[in-house]
Structure 1
């Protein structure tokens, strides 16, 4: 057991730090004479540098945000993040006895039975650049991932930490992107002639559905679902998109010729009749931005390419939310060869 002290009670006044600075355990805010050899309770979760250079043996930090934002990460000293409520309990204990003590035990791995779900720090839709294109496309593992790490870089990411390791536990887009990229590269190796849009389609249409009960933002949190490497290479059907389709989409979004050419890098112009085709970009998902009180009557056009069995039949199965009418026409697509393209329409209606 080690003595435990509240950071606010150990300000480094010689360095000009106030009690407020010390409560947040900012760099050089803690008095080494009061902190050395002790565990420090801090009011915010930071990188641990202030506690480390003051000689603390450990730190307990209250997370001011939602507990869903608490994730595993490396610190330069033994550390634990707690909820504001639990941190308050420790503060009460420190003030209840003359010689408060504590210890930080070794972490115990456990299975998160609630997984998979979208982390609180992950960005959500809708897509600000175009509300009628559903984003995100899909989800991939990105929380507490065991990843390769350069031994030349401090394990905690702070310079005062001199430990050197070849692996680390990391969370964020930097972990989710390699998963998605790896699966995309795997699909590309099996289908070298597929376009980026075809690969995206394969990843989205084979994703494992996720639960809206666990993710209140539903598709705005996880898109098509959790990426599935085993099924992505054999989607059966793909929604392909070529360069002209993207040009028509951008034109329908209001891009003028100059801006369009900045994106395409050539002398593209908006084709005649491209206005109003934004909804018909051959995307694997369908989205419609509309006020809740407004009546809906919209038709989406999609074309799928057969990349599965040469002779195959697909039937549309629609689960319709209350108050909406969703119809697919034709509801059955029968293919007779590989590479064959067939089209269908999806009609969404709602009375005002």
Structure 2
């Protein structure tokens, strides 16, 4: 539904009023999946084809498209793209960078996310910690929100992997059962991480990914990692 108005405005109330034009009153509330109201304007809902067509013709609606179930992918090494470990660093600047990782969550106890030596959380950070069960943030992982399961804790490994690739600490003598020993490192080891868990065992729904974008932008992330 475009950008958020600058004037006083209740997105959820507007979204429900739009839905009531194609639903019975009770059905509109039950069919609303998510109201996007922080960084952009819109909502996710269960619709019939007839309701979708009617909504798409309304003047206040920019577009209507289906939520898809996406699958996970990964990335390659920093050395491969010419970004070696010896590259010149500015820790003071890099520690103010907050990477929002939209993925399967994160495993906070990994050495890649140890916060030893990290200073205070950047003043620009506006996000909150809502990691759920058995999850604790630190000065490295400064934000956590989950949209599936009961915690941001990563049980798949993909989100932990992608987070460590972009912003993991240097971990010397890393190896796989004695093979390929070396230093595991992220592109910007001094950067902070905010984890947004949108993926579960069945994949990653578009409407959850949209909700993570909505929150992450409002939280003040510097950039987003979305390896989906």
TM over 0.5: no
Q: Normalized against structure 1, the TM-score is what?
A: 0.19
Q: Normalized against structure 2, the TM-score is what?
A: 0.25
Structure of greater relative contact order (alpha carbons < 8 Å, 6+ residues apart): 2
